[in-house]
Amino acid sequence: MKKKKILVFGILFFCFFVTTVNAETRAEIRIDSVMWDPFYIEAGDDVTLYAKFVLRPITKAWAVENPDNIATAQDPGVFYKAQLEPADDLARDYVIMKRGEKNVGHLFVGESWTTPFEIKIRETAIATSYKMRFSVIKTDIDSTYEEVVKVFEFELPIKGVVKFNVDSDNMVNLGSISDIVINVKNDGLGDAKHVIVGLDLSTPFTSVRTSELYVGDFEGGESKDVAFKVSVGSETEALVYRIPVTITYVDDNGTEKKVNKDIGVRIDATPDMKVGLESSDDLAAGIGGTVSIEVVNEGFIDAKFVRLTLEPTEDYSVESINEFYIGNLDSDDIETDEFEIRIEDSVDKEIVPLKVRLQYKGEGSDQEYVNECEVDLKILSKVEYAAKHGGDGTSATLMIIILAIPVFFIVILVVWFVYKIFDLIKDYLNRKLFSR
């Protein structure tokens, strides 16, 4: 019976001891972890940050004093708040807090709490680590007082963004093989690895070698020119064609990404026009005649509104109309026009350049093209011309002298006759006036 009483007393004492210990258990706030989603953050991203903390028991009342950050377990008057804020000026400039403080409420000893915070990284954020501060605040139900019981500072890494842009100004020729050159630039601050640039070619373009090229790595701000060889059919319409460009790369996180861009490629709509001398009369210094100028369209593009002009120079004058309106000149077509010219007397050369101006427009374009060129005209010396046309080269001069001699004598006779008549009239008047 005595043993039973001792056993009951022992059980009661143990229960009393456990109750006393629980009543005096102390606890403190411990921050377990801070995480964010997505883990790989770039400028412009929306991020959810998770802060996990727990009210953890630490000791007994008789072993430790009660500092400010240690709470008595199960105290119903203690409430908590969670706060997230930038920890320096750089973070305040580039990290936007959507809501920086949240109510947690009462925590029991051993209870953990995870608080999500929504933040936004500015588009202009530089690639670096941003200092952030997470705090746990103790308060009461009415928030009449606040006390920071735990502070945890950490760094939020922002990776550089890869921003690919393309630029090109290409004109390809019909019926030929041409290069399409694309300037690829990484305008972002992030690095791109294993970059592949590809063209999605379709009619009228055909790849000569490959439509996909490996161009290596691109650091932030780096640019490279990428060239593709393509052929274009001769029957292609002269327009501007859109070509899709695909850029594939691996970012700093090891993720493969793809960027789609477009470039425009112009088909050369310039007719290939040539001017030449078709024929001419025999010409020499002081001699006039006809020259025939031919215009040839040697390209694949028809020429529109063609106008041919022969300009006078110090070597010759244009005696006829010096401009012809040809109109349209189809591909592989020829037009010939004639001009009357006269070689100047002072010319002493074997070749006289004819100054020709050709104006025209391409098919489907309002741009006017002007070709100014010289066409060589071979002329004869006076001796060669006289020999070819029956003379020794001085016949024209002798003929002028022969014709001038009678005219000279006639002029002298006329002057003498007028002088005699005047003399007779003078004598007659003298006799009449002074005879008395």
Provide the pLDDT for residue 383: 87
249 domain-assigned: yes
332 occurs within a structural domain = yes
For residue 71, the one-letter residue type is A
Residue 325 lies in a domain: yes
The pLDDT of residue 259 is above 70? yes
Segment 148-167 shows an average pLDDT of: 92
Q: What is the pLDDT, as a whole number, of residue 399?
A: 55
Across residues 193-199, what is the average pLDDT? 95
Asked if the model's pLDDT at residue 16 lies above 80, the reply is no
In a domain, 292, yes or no: yes
The answer to whether 212 touches 200, Cβ cutoff 8 Å, is no
| Contact between 249 and 229 (Cβ < 8 Å) | no
CB count within 10 Å of CB 54 equals 17
What percentage of residues in the chain have a pLDDT greater than 90? 55
pLDDT on residue 227: 95
Q: How far apart are CA 304 and CA 270, in angstroms?
A: 10
Residue with tokens 């790849």: 207
Same structural domain for residues 279 and 383?
Answer: yes
Q: Is residue 381 part of a domain?
A: yes
In a domain, 14, yes or no: no
Total number of domains in the chain: 4
Of the ranges 43-47, 293-297, 337-341, 418-422, which one carries the lowest mean pLDDT score? 418-422
382 & 408 share domain = no
Instruction: Verify that 214 and 277 share a domain, yes or no.
Output: no
Find the CATH number of the domain harbouring 204. 2.60.40.10
Q: For residues 280 and 356, state if they share a domain.
A: yes
- How confident is the model at residue 370, as a pLDDT? 93
Between residues 61 and 140, the one the model is more confident about: 140
**pLDDT the model gives residue 19:** 43
Please indicate, yes or no, if residue 10 is contained in any of the structural domains.
no
Which pLDDT score is estimated for 402?
66
**417, pLDDT greater than 70:** yes
Rg (CA), the chain: 52
Q: Are residues 170 and 213 in the same domain?
A: yes
Rounded Cα–Cα distance for residues 213 and 197 (Å): 5
- Please indicate, yes or no, whether residues 411 and 375 belong to a single structural domain of this protein: no
Cα separation, 124 vs 118, in Å, equals 19
Q: Quote the domain boundaries for residue 240.
A: 164-267
Angle at the Cα of 94 (from 93 to 98), degrees rounded to 5?
A: 100
Do 331 and 404 reside in the same domain of the chain? no
The span from the CA of 348 to the CA of 331, in Å, is 40
What are the tens digits of pLDDT across the range 92-144? 999 999 999 999 999 988 899 999 999 999 988 888 899 999 999 999 988 88
Structure confidence by residue, pLDDT tens digits, 287-324: 999 999 999 998 888 899 999 999 999 999 999 999 99
| Same-domain status, 150 and 28 | yes
Model pLDDT, residue 396: 53
Looking at residues 8-15, what average pLDDT do you find? Answer: 45
Q: Which residue has the higher pLDDT, 408 or 331?
A: 331
pLDDT for 403: 62
Tell me the C-alpha distance between 428 and 436, whole Å. Answer: 14
One DSSP character per residue, 298-342 reads -SSSPEEEEEEEEE-BTTEEE-S--EEEEEEE-TT-EEEEEEEEE
Please give the average per-residue pLDDT across 14-25, as a whole number: 45
pLDDT at residue 5 tops 60: no
Residue 294 shares a structural domain with residue 196? no
Q: What is the chain's mean pLDDT, rounded?
A: 85
Give the whole-angstrom CA distance, residue 245 versus residue 263. 7
48 and 151 in a single domain? The answer is yes
Greater confidence (89 vs 220) lies with 89
Indicate whether this model's pTM tops 0.75. Answer: no
